[in-house]
């Protein structure tokens, strides 16, 4: 039997070879399609096209502006024709009915079916009893009160809105057990929320802190929420994140709008001081610090320090921590290593097996300089700075 090549073999087996499709769309067309898909998702969620108006939330207003621009774009009608089933571009979209949100009577009425319904005086009919979804929505609104000093917070919301339009602010999905800090912005149910105050609260049953927060919303209301309640509203079912965090986007090398493999939604920069009895460490203990980054608890990270040469085979003391959002762990650690390279200690110790080890990430740097470095990371000016070990200062 003569040998057959791959194509002949597949043909003999009756397997049809379908060539892979190669996208012929330009980057501009891809962006137009992605932008329209956001509008479609809004339509599918709310059953209507996004609308303008101050009473609307930020994202609806952004989508409304985007839809207006797409309607004016000559190629949009052709490019998006297959996607535009609701007729959004022509303005003929019909409102959808969310059947899951309707009770039985409302659903039957929507379908035009009244036949067979019991008489209004039937004692089996529950009167003045609202569906569970309606009750929960009413409770959420009832828990909010008018914000008397909203004008104090208005510039913050305006800054966030302007930042989203210009691209200097971005949003990230809220992930389970993510941190909530004073001054954070979130998107909850289509509204922007600002964490204005942290007040004393109780602990949860498992011993976690649960302070009470003052949360301001962009519709001029506020709510008195426990931290864990706010977290649940952002991540309600432990599976699908519905809330989002608003953050400023730094154009430098640390933060960005694109997710990367080493990104962590929120994390901690930690500074440690060694309890080692090594003569050099003992002499300079107040100046020798280890700087690291973790997406989890610092205490967990350093649990086995006394048995790890990375920590100089000794217990360590946490002397400072800094919470940051939208971090790229590798880039951040590289920034510290570059910045303080001239102050890295040259120390060799023996591990538990007598092998020489030269630990990294330990620097002869005062704590106040590390404080300044973190602040410059936050405002983006760190890329212009170097550390001068002779003066123990950061300079351009």
**Residue matched to tokens 């529950």:** 126
Full pLDDT tens readout for the chain, 396 residues: 566 666 666 666 665 655 544 456 777 788 788 888 888 888 888 888 888 876 677 778 888 888 888 888 777 888 888 888 888 888 655 444 444 544 555 544 444 444 444 444 444 444 444 444 334 433 444 467 889 999 989 988 998 888 888 878 888 777 766 778 888 899 887 789 999 888 887 777 777 778 889 999 998 899 888 888 888 888 765 444 567 888 876 533 344 444 444 455 557 889 999 999 888 888 989 999 999 888 778 888 888 888 888 888 889 999 998 877 666 666 777 788 888 888 888 888 877 677 777 777 899 999 999 988 888 877 777 877 888 888 888 888
Give the separation between CA 147 and CA 140, rounded to whole angstroms. 15
Cβ-proximal residues to 157 (8 Å cutoff; 6+ apart), any chain: 192, 194, 218
Cβ-proximal residues to 14 (8 Å cutoff; 6+ apart), any chain: none
81: its two tokens: 């024709």
Strands (E), 59-155: 144-146
* 152-171 per-residue burial string, b: 16 or more CB within 10 A, e: under 16: ebeebbeebbebbeeeebbb
Which pLDDT score is estimated for 9? 62
Do residues 233 and 290 touch, judged by C-beta distance below 8 A?
no
360: its two tokens: 């990294």
* 329-341 per-residue burial string, b: 16 or more CB within 10 A, e: under 16: bebbbebbeebbe
Cβ-proximal residues to 97 (8 Å cutoff; 6+ apart), any chain: 47, 110
Do residues 363 and 340 touch, judged by C-beta distance below 8 A?
yes
Write the DSSP symbol of residue 284: T
Which pLDDT score is estimated for 363? 92
HSE of 381 in the Cβ direction (CA atoms, 13 Å)? 8
Which pLDDT score is estimated for 345? 87
Per DSSP, the three-state class of 107 is helix
280: its two tokens: 């050099």
Per DSSP, the three-state class of 215 is strand
Which pLDDT score is estimated for 298? 86
Using CA atoms, how far residue 329 sits from 2, 43, 174, 290, 389, in Å, is 58, 37, 18, 15, 25
**Residue matched to tokens 């940051």:** 324
C-alpha triplet 298, 291, 361: angle, nearest 5°: 120
End-to-end Cα separation, the chain, in angstroms = 77
Nearest to 270 by CA among 297, 252, 247: 297
């Amino acid at each position: 039997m003569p040998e057959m090549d791959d194509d002949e073999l597949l043909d003999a087996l009756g397997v049809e070879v379908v060539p892979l499709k190669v996208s012929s769309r330009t980057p501009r067309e891809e962006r137009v399609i992605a932008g329209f898909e956001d509008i479609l998702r809004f339509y599918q969620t709310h059953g209507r096209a996004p609308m303008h108006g101050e009473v609307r939330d930020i994202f609806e207003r952004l989508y409304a502006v985007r839809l207006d621009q797409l309607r004016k774009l000559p190629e949009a009608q052709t490019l998006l024709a297959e996607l535009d089933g609701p007729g959004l571009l022509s303005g003929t979209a019909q409102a959808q009915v969310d059947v899951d949100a309707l009770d039985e009577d409302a659903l039957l009425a929507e379908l035009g079916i009244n036949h067979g319904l019991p008489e209004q005086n039937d004692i089996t009919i529950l009167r003045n009893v609202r569906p569970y979804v309606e009750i929960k929505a009413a409770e959420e609104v009832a828990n909010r009160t008018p914000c008397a000093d909203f004008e104090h917070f208005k510039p913050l919301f305006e800054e966030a809105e302007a930042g989203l339009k210009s691209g200097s602010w971005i949003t990230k999905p809220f992930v389970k057990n993510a941190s909530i800090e004073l001054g954070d912005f979130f998107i909850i149910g289509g509204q922007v929320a600002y964490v204005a105050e942290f007040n004393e609260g109780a602990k949860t049953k498992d011993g976690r802190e649960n302070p009470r927060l003052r949360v301001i919303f962009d519709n001029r209301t506020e709510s008195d929420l426990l931290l864990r309640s706010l977290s649940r509203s952002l991540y309600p079912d432990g599976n699908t994140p519905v809330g989002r965090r608003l953050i400023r986007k730094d154009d430098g090398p640390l933060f960005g709008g694109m997710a990367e493999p080493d990104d962590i939604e929120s994390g901690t920069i930690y500074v440690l001081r060694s309890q080692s009895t090594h003569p050099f460490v003992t002499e300079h203990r107040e100046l020798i610090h280890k700087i690291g980054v973790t997406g989890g608890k610092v205490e967990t990270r350093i649990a086995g320090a006394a048995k790890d040469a990375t920590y100089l085979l000794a217990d360590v003391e946490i002397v400072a921590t800094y919470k940051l959002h939208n971090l790229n762990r590798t880039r951040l650690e590289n920034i510290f290593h570059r910045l303080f390279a001239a102050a890295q200690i040259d120390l060799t110790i023996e591990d538990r097996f007598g092998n020489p080890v030269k630990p990294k990430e330990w620097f002869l740097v005062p704590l106040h300089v590390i404080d300044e470095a973190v602040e410059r990371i936050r405002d983006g000016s760190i890329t212009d700075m170097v550390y001068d070990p002779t003066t123990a200062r950061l300079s351009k």
